[in-house]
Amino acid sequence: MGHYIEVERKVKLYVEDIGTGTPVIFLHGWPLSSRMFEAQFTLLSEQGYRCIGIDQRGFGKSSAPAAGYDYDRLADDVKAVIEYLRLEHAFLIGFSVGGAIAVRYMARHGGYGIQKLALIGAAAPSFSQREDYPHGMKREEADAQIAAAKKDRPQMLRDFGELFLANTASNPISEPFKDWLQLLGLEASAWGTVRTFESLRDEDLRSDIVQIKAATTIFQGALDQICPPEFAKQLLNGIDGSTLVTFEQSGHGILYDEPARFNQELLEFLK
C-alpha cells in the first residue's frame, strides 16, 4: 500500500509501505525513486520486515515544488514521514544522495527513530571536490552535468546510466533492465533533478558524519565511478565504530551488479 504524506503545506511525499514487522526505511538515489528497491521490497516483505520507501520531493510520485532540495529540508521530510507513521527502532538505508540525506538526518535529528544505518554508495561526506578534499567530482564537472540535464535530460540519463553499473561479464545487465532504470529517471521532475544535483555539488557533510551515534554499515562498490571508494574510507574514519563491506565486482549500482551478495549482506545488516 502507498501513503501520501504532507510534509509541509502543499507538498506531499509518496511513501511505499509494504509488509509488517520491523520498519526498514529506504532513501533512493538521484534521479530515481523508491521503486529502485523493488527487489528488496519483495525479499524483505517475505522475511518479516516492513519496507518504507520514500519518494523524495521532485521524484517518483511525490510533489515537485520549485524549492526545498537542500539537505536540511530533505532530512526534515524524512522526519515528517517517520513521525506520521510513528516509526520506532527502524533501520535507515540510504543509497547515493539518499545516503547523504540519511547522514544529514542522523546529525540534524539525532537519529530519531533509527536503530541502525546503512550507507550504500553514499554521496558523502562530500560529493564534489573542495580545497582540502580532493575526492569526487570537480565543480566544473557537476556544472556540466546540470547543463546536460537542462539541455537533453533523456540523453543525460542514458549517459549517467552507463556510468551507474559495472555491467561485468559475470553479471551482465539486460537492455530492458537499463531501460527500466532510465524510465525511473524520466519520471522525476526536471527541476527536482537539477536542484537535487545542485545540492549534491554544494553540500558538505564532514561535520555531520562525526555526530552519528547509531551502528553504521557502509556498502561500497570497488568499481564505483560516481561515488568512489575513497568516500567509503572517509565515512569509515569519520563515523565512530562503523564497518565497511566492499563489493569487488560492483560499480555504483551495487544492488544490481551483485544482487545475490547485496541481499545477503543486507539481511545480515538487519539482524
Q: What is the DSSP letter of 158?
A: H
Distance of CA 221 to the CA centre of its chain: 14
| List of E strands, 96-176 | 114-120
Q: Is residue 252 flagged as an active site residue? A: yes
Q: How far apart are CA 2 and CA 270, in angstroms?
A: 23
Q: How far apart are CA 216 and CA 232, in angstroms?
A: 12
Q: Is 187 exposed, middle or buried (0-12, 13-18, 19+ CB in 10 A)?
A: middle
Which residue among 33, 62, 96, 250 is the active-site one? 96
The helix/strand/coil state of 16 is strand
Strand arrangement, sheet containing 11-18: 2-8, 11-18, 49-54, 22-27, 90-95, 114-120, 215-221, 243-247
**Which three three-digit cell numbers place residue 224?**
564505483
Which residue among 17, 34, 128, 252 is the active-site one? 252
Which residue among 55, 77, 208, 224 is the active-site one? 224
Q: Is residue 96 flagged as an active site residue? A: yes
Q: Is residue 109 flagged as an active site residue? A: no
Compute CA distances 9 → 62, 85, 151, 181, whole Å: 14, 18, 31, 31
Q: How far apart are CA 184 and CA 36, in angstroms?
A: 8
Instruction: Count CA within 13 A, CB hemisphere, residue 94.
Output: 26
Q: How far apart are CA 35 and CA 28, in angstroms?
A: 8
Catalytic site residues? 96, 224, 252
